[in-house]
């Protein structure tokens, strides 16, 4: 017997992504990878101007943008899209680990800065978190971001030691590993625990420190010298 239409299971919204990258092989390969994961790629452009027009036309949920392109830089495209009042998340997906690229991108409204050699599962997870409202930086770059923030804001912003006192010894240990830029998988392997356990600890850390992302937690730990290198 057919169920009434109002009892049908609602369809999950499919994430809509738009790619701008001048490297055809990477662009084609990434499009195929995303589509195999159930993500709709509404356009994949190799030219910056075509990409800008496509973003304004298609209104994707998230834009993946290369940093180094011949026509104009990803940073220039980012600025143009923000000037055009495009408010959806824009993510820099690049090979550049340059501190200035990272900082300038975030300052100009990028909600993510990810590296092209990241694991596909990690990319999908990052995109989901970014679309949900988080700002995500590649874990390998967390320490670079922390040093930059520390340098720009010396002396460090005062943080009561009490806030760190709420962390358990295991949570402090994991926070220090986050500050080194380690992924959940690497932390789990190093500590001999499961990925799921690491995720639970990270959630507890974010709640206790009253921050919204692992990047913020890592920056806080570095700023306050919670994890001297010889102890981490």
Q: Are 132 and 155 within one domain? A: no
Q: Are 30 and 70 within one domain? A: yes
Q: How far is CA 132 from each of CA 33, 62, 111, 129, rounded to the nearest angstrom?
A: 21, 11, 11, 5
Q: Are 123 and 167 within one domain? A: no
Q: Are 125 and 156 within one domain? A: no
Q: Are 71 and 129 within one domain? A: yes
- The CATH number of the domain where 63 resides is what? 3.40.50.2300
Where is 209: in which H helix or E strand? helix 195-209
Domain span at residue 89 reads: 16-137
- pLDDT digit string (tens) for the chain, length 232 residues: 444 545 454 445 789 999 999 999 999 999 999 999 999 999 999 999 999 999 999 999 999 999 999 889 999 999 999 898 888 899 999 999 888 888 888 888 898 999 998 888 889 999 998 898 888 888 778 777 766 665 554 444 444 456 788 899 999 999 988 877 777 888 888 899 998 899 899 989 988 888 777 777 877 787 777 776 544 4
Instruction: Count the domains in the chain.
Output: 2
């Amino acid at each position: 017997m057919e169920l009434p239409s109002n009892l049908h299971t609602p369809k999950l919204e499919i994430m809509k992504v738009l790619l701008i990258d001048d490297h055809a092989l990477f662009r084609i390969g990434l499009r195929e990878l995303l589509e195999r994961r159930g993500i709709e790629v509404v356009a994949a452009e190799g030219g910056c101007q075509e990409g800008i027009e496509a973003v304004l036309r298609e209104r994707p949920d998230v834009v993946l943008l290369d940093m180094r392109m011949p026509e104009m830089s990803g940073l220039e495209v980012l600025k143009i899209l923000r000037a055009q009042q495009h408010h959806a998340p824009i993510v820099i997906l690049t090979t550049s680990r340059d501190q200035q690229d990272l900082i300038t991108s975030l300052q100009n409204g990028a909600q993510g800065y990810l590296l092209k050699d990241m694991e596909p599962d990690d990319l999908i997870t990052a995109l989901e978190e970014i679309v949900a409202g988080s700002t995500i930086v590649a874990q390998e770059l967390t320490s670079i971001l922390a040093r930059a923030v520390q340098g720009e804001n010396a002396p460090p912003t005062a943080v009561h030691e009490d806030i760190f006192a709420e962390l358990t010894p295991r949570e402090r240990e994991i926070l220090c590993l986050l500050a080194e830029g380690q992924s959940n998988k690497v932390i789990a392997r190093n500590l001999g625990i499961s990925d799921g356990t690491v995720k639970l600890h990270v959630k507890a850390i974010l709640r206790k420190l009253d921050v919204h992302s692992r990047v913020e937690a890592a920056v806080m730990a570095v700023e306050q010298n919670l994890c001297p290198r010889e102890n981490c």
